Each structure stands twice: as structure tokens, then as C-alpha cells.
């Protein structure tokens, strides 16, 4: 895909005009003498791009030479119902689109043996005193294990800023919350300095606020890493989209009993599928495999989080 505006016949003022509008002159049909691109040509290109519903550039990225969105009269094939996108869909859609287009995504998958962790979680939640404290959820364990992994693999808690990588020394963990109006990502601030119960309580409070449509903007800002836990619903694996300007997002789907070879025999173990999607400009596949393995080891023996 052409990256500059060289080898195109256009005056410096037209080049500047095209640059300001983010137009790749290679894609503009020239109508001027000797194949020169005119101001009208650039304007026509922008109008046509807007009409086709496609951006002239991916928000500062390379030109996207995509065909226009199909325009179909669905009613000609059967009964339809038209509903406007929800407010959340209207806000999150462009962000997801930007992240999908601008971040070179890769997803790695692994499995964590959560047999002892789930036994411990259920035991704690069944205690008499459990009624007076937040319920320990798998999400809370995922958050604490992620923070331990983020401390070890600091590039996962970083952000690209121009030519630099900004490493954050604080751990604000966002989590995907499924709400009737769509996906929201509240952020638990300084989750590293909170205990498991406090994290579980903060997550429950933020998820309830999200479902009631009462999250403040500040509740969703400042995240350094995100977790999407959909095991309560189901699934064996999925590819979550990185939440820019973060560089990685952890996913978890439904844990299931599986036969595991212990060296002598197969024994049933509760295995949790986990995945990490990451910005390949910052993290490579080997780094992601190490990160995910470490998260799996922590979930397999949660005492290691303390080390
Ligand atoms: N495997 C098996 N069962 C699981 C599980 C997993 N990975 N995760 C949860 N469960 C089960 C548990 O039995 C739990 O009940 P229990 O604690 O009494 O045992 C039950 O599902 C309910 O869990 P859930 O409501 O998911 O609670 P949570 O604290 O683990 O998760 C949220 C909280 C906010 C993350 C979750 O409710 C949610 O909204 N998830 C959807 C996220 C989403 O939409 N992601 C997609 C973004 S693209």
C-alpha cells in the first residue's frame, strides 16, 4: 500500500491540502493537465469516501482500499425490524473499530488447572462469615493473578506513545461487563493494593453500576490492562480486542473437567481456558506464551501470587 505522496503530480499546496485531510494522493483520480491532481479531485475523493461510509484513512493510519459497505434493501427478502444502536453501542463501536484496525492483533491460548482454586473459592464462599463480605469470584482471582504477571512482564502494562513505550507502575484493571445495553469496561483503580475481597467487592459494585447505566466517565478511565471473563456464560475460546491505549487483554471462558495425565493415570481436573490478545508491535508470541503460562501457573497454585 503506498505510504507517501511521491510520484504523484500535484502542486505543493494540493499536497498540503491532501495531507491535512489525510488523503493518500495515490488513490485520487487526477483530472488536471498532464495527469495533475487538482483541489477539486481531492475534494471529490473525500466526498466519495464519506458517501461510501469509509474513512479516507484509518485515523492517521494507512489508506484503506476497501469496497463500500453493501447497501441492501433487506425488506425485499422478508419481514424486518429496525432498531437504533444503543448509546453504548454508538460510543463503543467506533473505539472497537479503531482498535481492530490500528492494532496488529494476535491471540495466544492456554489452559489453567483451577481445580484447587475453585475448591478454595467455594470453601471460602461457603463459610458462615461469607454473608458479611463480598463473594469471591473467579474474576477477582484473574485480576490478582494478572497483576502478578504484569509485574513480571511489564510491557503488558505499557502503552505506545509516539516513539516511546510508557511503562505504568500502577495497576488499574478494567473488566468487560455485559449489560442490557451492551459491553462496558469499568476500571478497578490500584487493584494491586487491594485484597481479594476488596477486588471482588469493587468489581461487583462497578458491574452493578454498569448494568444500571450509572457508571461515571471516571469509572471507565485510566485502565492499564483489561480482563474479559465470559465463563459464566460459556465458550471454549475467543479472541478479545485490545482496549487501546493498552497493549493486552486477558480472556477467560468456561472451565470444564478434563482428563489430565499425572504420570501414572488420568485424573479429572478443572481446566480454565485462558487467552491473551496483544498488540504485536509491543509483545511478541513468545512473550505472550510466557505471560499466559505464568498466569496459568499462578491460577494453578495461587500461593505463588505472594512470591
Ligand atoms: N467457568 C465456569 N464457570 C464460571 C466461570 C468460568 N470461567 N466464570 C463464572 N462461572 C460461573 C460461576 O459458577 C459463577 O457462579 P459462582 O461464583 O456462584 O460459582 C457464575 O458463573 C456467575 O459468574 P459471573 O456472573 O460471570 O461472575 P464473575 O464475577 O465471574 O464475572 C462479570 C463478573 C462482570 C465479569 C460477568 O458477569 C460479565 O459480565 N461477563 C461478561 C463479560 C463480557 O461480556 N465479555 C465479552 C467482552 S467482548
Question: Based on the domain organization, do 108 and 72 belong to the same domain?
Answer: no
Of 252, 177, 176, 181, residue with least CA distance to 208: 177
Question: Based on the domain organization, do 145 and 266 belong to the same domain?
Answer: yes
Question: Based on the domain organization, do 71 and 151 belong to the same domain?
Answer: no
3-state secondary structure of 146: helix
Give pLDDT, residue 51: 65
Question: Based on the domain organization, do 163 and 281 belong to the same domain?
Answer: yes
Question: Based on the domain organization, do 110 and 247 belong to the same domain?
Answer: yes
3 part of a folded domain: no
Would you give per-residue pLDDT tens digits along the chain (307 residues)? 333 445 788 998 898 888 888 888 888 888 888 888 998 888 888 887 776 655 444 444 456 778 889 999 999 999 999 999 998 999 899 999 999 999 999 999 999 999 999 999 999 999 988 888 999 999 999 999 999 999 999 999 999 999 999 999 999 999 999 998 889 999 999 999 999 999 999 999 999 999 999 999 999 999 999 999 999 999 999 999 999 999 999 999 999 999 999 999 999 999 999 999 999 999 999 999 999 999 999 999 999 998 8
Give pLDDT, residue 4: 43
Residue with cell 487501546: 244
Question: Based on the domain organization, do 196 and 294 belong to the same domain?
Answer: yes
Task: Write the CB contacts of 98 (distance below 8 Å, at least 6 apart in sequence).
Answer: 58, 59, 244
Active site (catalytic) residues:
280
250 lines ligand 1 (CB under 6 A): no
144 part of a folded domain: yes
Domain of residue 163, residue span = 104-306
Choose which residue among 125, 134, 138 to substitute to test ligand 1 binding: the one with the highest number of ligand atoms within 8 A of its C-beta: 138
Report phi then psi at 261, rounded to 5. Answer: -80, 120
91 part of a folded domain: no
β-strands 158-161, 187-188: how paired?
A: unpaired
24 part of a folded domain: yes
Question: Based on the domain organization, do 197 and 267 belong to the same domain?
Answer: yes
Give pLDDT, residue 20: 80
β-strands 225-229, 248-252: how paired?
A: parallel
Question: Based on the domain organization, do 37 and 167 belong to the same domain?
Answer: no
Question: Based on the domain organization, do 63 and 117 belong to the same domain?
Answer: no
Residue with cell 462496558: 184
Instruction: Give Cα separations from 152 to 10, 21, 47 (angstroms).
Output: 52, 42, 49
Question: Based on the domain organization, do 108 and 203 belong to the same domain?
Answer: yes
175 lines ligand 1 (CB under 6 A): yes
283 part of a folded domain: yes
Question: Based on the domain organization, do 225 and 112 belong to the same domain?
Answer: yes
Please tell me the pTM assigned to this model.
0.81
CATH number, residue 132: 3.30.559.10
Give pLDDT, residue 52: 60
121 part of a folded domain: yes
Amino acid at each position: 500500500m503506498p505510504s507517501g505522496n511521491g510520484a504523484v503530480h500535484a502542486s505543493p499546496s494540493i499536497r498540503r491540502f491532501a495531507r491535512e485531510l489525510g488523503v493518500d494522493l495515490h488513490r485520487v483520480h487526477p483530472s488536471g493537465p498532464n495527469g495533475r491532481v487538482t483541489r477539486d479531485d481531492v475534494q471529490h475523493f473525500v466526498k466519495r469516501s464519506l458517501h461510501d461510509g469509509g474513512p479516507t484513512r484509518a485515523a492517521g493510519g494507512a489508506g484503506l482500499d476497501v469496497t463500500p459497505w453493501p447497501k441492501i434493501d433487506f425488506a425485499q427478502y422478508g419481514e424486518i425490524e429496525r432498531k437504533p444502536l444503543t448509546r453504548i453501542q454508538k460510543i463503543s463501536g467506533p473505539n472497537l473499530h479503531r482498535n481492530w484496525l490500528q492494532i496488529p492483533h494476535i491471540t495466544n491460548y492456554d489452559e489453567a488447572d483451577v481445580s484447587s482454586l475453585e475448591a478454595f473459592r467455594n470453601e471460602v464462599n461457603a463459610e458462615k462469615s461469607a454473608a458479611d463480605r463480598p463473594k469471591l469470584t473467579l474474576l477477582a482471582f484473574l485480576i490478582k493473578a494478572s497483576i502478578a504477571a504484569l509485574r513480571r512482564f511489564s510491557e503488558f502494562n505499557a502503552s505506545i506513545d509516539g516513539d516511546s513505550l510508557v511503562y505504568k507502575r500502577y495497576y488499574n484493571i478494567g473488566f468487560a461487563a455485559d449489560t442490557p445495553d451492551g459491553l462496558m469496561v469499568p476500571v478497578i483503580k490500584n487493584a494491586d493494593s487491594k485484597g481479594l475481597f476488596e477486588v471482588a467487592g469493587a468489581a461487583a459494585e462497578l458491574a452493578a453500576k454498569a448494568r444500571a447505566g450509572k457508571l461515571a466517565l471516571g469509572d471507565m478511565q485510566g485502565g492499564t490492562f483489561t480482563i474479559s471473563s465470559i465463563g459464566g456464560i460459556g465458550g471454549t475460546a475467543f479472541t478479545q480486542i485490545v482496549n487501546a491505549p493498552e497493549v493486552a487483554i486477558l480472556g477467560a471462558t468456561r472451565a470444564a473437567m478434563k482428563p489430565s495425565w499425572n504420570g501414572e493415570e488420568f485424573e479429572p481436573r478443572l481446566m480454565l481456558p485462558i487467552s491473551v490478545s496483544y498488540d504485536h508491535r509491543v509483545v511478541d508470541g513468545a512473550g505472550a506464551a510466557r505471560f499466559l503460562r505464568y498466569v496459568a501457573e499462578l491460577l494453578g497454585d495461587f500461593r505463588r501470587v505472594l512470591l
